Chain A
Amino acid sequence: MTVKNIALIGNPNVGKSTVFNGLTGLSQHTGNWPGKTVSLAFGTFVHRGQAFSLIDLPGIYSLMANSPEEAVAIDYLRQKKPDVVVIVADATCLERNLNLAIQIAQAYCNVILCVNLLDEAKKKGIQIDLDTLSRLMDIPVVGVVARSKKNLDRLKDQILCTSRNPADPDSVLADFTEEMITDSVNRASTIYRACVRLERKDYNAPDRTLDRIVTSKSLGYPIMLLLLSLIFWITLQGANHISEYLHMILFGLQDHLFVLLTSWNAPVMLIDMLLFGVYQTVAWVVSVMLPPMAIFFPLFTLLEDSGYLPRVAFNMDRCFRRACAHGKQALTMCMGFGCNACAIMSCRIIDSQRERLMAILTNNFVPCNGRFPTLIALISMFFAGLSAGPLQDVIAVGLLVAVILFGVIVTLIVSKILSMTILKGLPSSFALELPPYRRPQFVKVIIRSLLDRTIFVLGRAVVVATPAGLIIWVLANTYTGETSLLNIFTNALDPFAGLIGLDGVILMAFILGFPANEIVIPIIIMTYMATGSITELDTLQLRTLLVENGWTTTTALCTLLFCLLHFPCGTTCLTIRKETASWKWTAAAFIIPTVCGLIVCFIVAQTLYLLGV
């Protein structure tokens, strides 16, 4: 039995990934913004004894290769000649989707049109006559609701049926002329009018009203800030409680482990190394870093699913235009909140090479999920702790928003400098699609991303925090003369670190945190504990530990700024190398934010020293 190749194709943001997940049972990341699927996803499924290999192609607008993703999709169709091409269309936006469908149906014979999001269309009172559509397009049409897997079996049946027809080996994609485009656009309109009946002429009025509010002159920016603050507030609130709880459990467990290991007569040194080296580091990552990461991520995913992010890009475009950057850079920055490495991949939505590099080089100025808890911890320990009660939350959230805005400002300034120096050029033309709002699947998103994030962080904690904890323990317990290697090492870094308001331990933590940013604070804690007298402390005493080791407000501020402005993590660097295919640009992406951080921290530290703070 041969495996049949199936390609999913369609306009950006029509739910191809959801159809893909529905057919294959995989869980590729989905989101409500055009251009989310940037790499090719493969999957397989078996239907009635026939095996299928499915590929999810990046969203394209037409069969003319204008952007890298379009070239990828078109090359695939040209060279791989899939047995069946499934065109996925958004039922709420059919006229536009039919344009591409018509072009593909002209070039290929084994084509199926899959009309997705029928539930959304029904809600909006859009009635689609699928039989007429099939007749006029002269291809099979299947209506589905991929999110709830409705009718996916019928789609599978149709794929099986169509795949039995011999594929046309000579199908070629001609270059399109203006006449052909005009023809397909006009045909799309004619077919649309023949098949679609609108119960309400103003079916998208709620979307338009919402758009007018969230992009209005007076409310556009305040709503953006409020939403950001709300997400931060929920994260802070939730994280605090869970943090304390996790800390209590994990450090309580430590005593039991100690008793257990001792009862096995394990050597004292081994117990010491495993518990106070490895276990504690992991416990700090899990108790301090995991909760904010696990709470922020689902909230951000909800925002992404709703379709709000492209509106942010719409509102912010003026700033990016002034910085000679691409308007979609705002979208890639938003993705940076989740993960800088993923955001680097998402930069593929920017067609022009110059502007894409600009977005890649500056992406690290957005604090990712792994650095976010560090900011929260520092703000709540040193800046928001002065007042009590609700005011404390307001200050903490306000400061967090201010830090993020500072990151955005640095991004814009650096983008502008890049566009005047090594990345000279004018902004290319761009079109930003504002997709229909969709109600996020709250329960599903929250549970899914909560689990995903937790497993991800736990996995990284084991892989990265374990060796880091081990290194610190070994260094702290290896002596040459009177001082431990750890002290020699951090003392050597001290003079330089002092210039930028940090100390040797903090700088070392950032360097050791290169594989994963979430281990920076745990390393700082572990190092201070290894060299000091405190061996047990709860989360509330963290500040005491830091202050005892010479931390001032200046130290906290500089650590916070350096956390925002420093080299990207290892994974991100590798992704940049992969995306730019150049070590030179990877080096630039490493050096630019680091230099920014050093300069900013130096100025801040020296100014505050002079002022005597």
Chain B
Amino acid sequence: MNDKLLPLDRLRVGQKGVVMDIAATDSEKRRFWDLGLIRGTTVESLHKSPSGDPIAYFIMGAVIALRNYDAEKVLVASSM
């Protein structure tokens, strides 16, 4: 298994990743925590909107859409 770190919005549709780090201000981090995005959470990229931004993710049993501008602050380890 070859792990590599990449921003959440770069996951391919259908690919899963584990949150490793969130590069954001404290108040932004709280919003991510609200969604269940903390270190160790598994996230799956579900589908893109027609323009490719935002992208919908499966997080803790819910479908959440994030704009790429925000999602790129979440770094995930994807299993290749």
Q: Do A and B truly interact?
A: yes
Q: Is A94 an interface residue (CB 8 A)?
A: yes
Chain B residues with Cβ below 8 Å from A178 are 29, 33, 38
* A57-91 to B contact mask, C-beta < 8 Å, 1/0: 00001101010000000000000000000000000
A62 adjacent to B62 (CB under 8 Å): no
Q: Is A433 an interface residue (CB 8 A)?
A: yes
A432 adjacent to B49 (CB under 8 Å): no
Whether A66 contacts B47 in the complex (CB less than 8 A), given A321-B67, A429-B70, comes out as: no
Rounded to whole Å, the gap between the CB of A141 and the closest CB of chain B is: 18
Q: Which partner residue on chain A sits nearest B65 by CB separation?
A: A432
* B42-79 to A contact mask, C-beta < 8 Å, 1/0: 00001111110110100111111111011000000000
Rounded to whole Å, the gap between the CB of B6 and the closest CB of chain A is: 19
Q: Is B4 an interface residue (CB 8 A)?
A: no
Q: Which partner residue on chain A sits nearest B26 by CB separation?
A: A178
B59 adjacent to A96 (CB under 8 Å): yes
B61 adjacent to A327 (CB under 8 Å): no
Chain A residues with Cβ below 8 Å from B15 are none
B34 adjacent to A211 (CB under 8 Å): no
A429 adjacent to B46 (CB under 8 Å): no
Q: Is A220 an interface residue (CB 8 A)?
A: yes
Partner of A208, one of B30, B47, B50, B67: B47
Q: Is A572 an interface residue (CB 8 A)?
A: no
Chain A residues with Cβ below 8 Å from B65 are 314, 317, 327, 431-434
Distance of A66 Cα from B46 Cα, bound (Å):
26
Chain A residues with Cβ below 8 Å from B69 are 427, 429
Partner of B46, one of A99, A208, A318: A208
B27 adjacent to A431 (CB under 8 Å): no
A95 adjacent to B61 (CB under 8 Å): yes
Among A181-189, A276-284, A404-412, A500-508, the stretch that binds chain B is A181-189
B64 adjacent to A431 (CB under 8 Å): yes
Q: Is A221 an interface residue (CB 8 A)?
A: yes
Q: Which partner residue on chain A sits nearest B35 by CB separation?
A: A431
Q: Is A215 an interface residue (CB 8 A)?
A: yes
Distance of A611 Cα from B33 Cα, bound (Å):
60
* A99-115 to B contact mask, C-beta < 8 Å, 1/0: 10000000000000000
Interface SS, A side: helix
B53 adjacent to A315 (CB under 8 Å): no
Chain A residues with Cβ below 8 Å from B47 are 208, 211-212, 215
Chain A residues with Cβ below 8 Å from B34 are 61-62, 64, 66, 431
B56 adjacent to A95 (CB under 8 Å): no
Rounded to whole Å, the gap between the CB of B67 and the closest CB of chain A is: 7
Partner of B53, one of A189, A208, A220, A321: A321
B50 adjacent to A64 (CB under 8 Å): no
Q: Is A216 an interface residue (CB 8 A)?
A: yes
Distance of A139 Cα from B40 Cα, bound (Å):
27
A431 adjacent to B31 (CB under 8 Å): yes
Distance of A182 Cα from B39 Cα, bound (Å):
8
A61 adjacent to B67 (CB under 8 Å): no
Distance of A374 Cα from B13 Cα, bound (Å):
45
Chain B residues 9 to 31 lying within 8 A of chain A, measured CB to CB, are 27-31
Distance of A66 Cα from B33 Cα, bound (Å):
11
A430 adjacent to B63 (CB under 8 Å): no
Whether A430 contacts B67 in the complex (CB less than 8 A), given A62-B34, A64-B30, A178-B33, comes out as: yes
B61 adjacent to A433 (CB under 8 Å): no
A315 adjacent to B60 (CB under 8 Å): no
Q: Which partner residue on chain A sits nearest B24 by CB separation?
A: A429
Chain B residues with Cβ below 8 Å from A99 are 36, 60
Q: Which partner residue on chain A sits nearest B59 by CB separation?
A: A96
Whether A185 contacts B53 in the complex (CB less than 8 A), given A95-B60, A429-B70, A432-B65, comes out as: no
Distance of A95 Cα from B34 Cα, bound (Å):
13
Q: Which partner residue on chain A sits nearest B55 by CB separation?
A: A314
The 13 listed contacts between A and B (C-beta, < 8 Å) are A62-B33, A64-B33, A64-B34, A66-B27, A185-B38, A189-B60, A211-B56, A215-B50, A317-B53, A317-B54, A318-B49, A327-B54, A427-B67
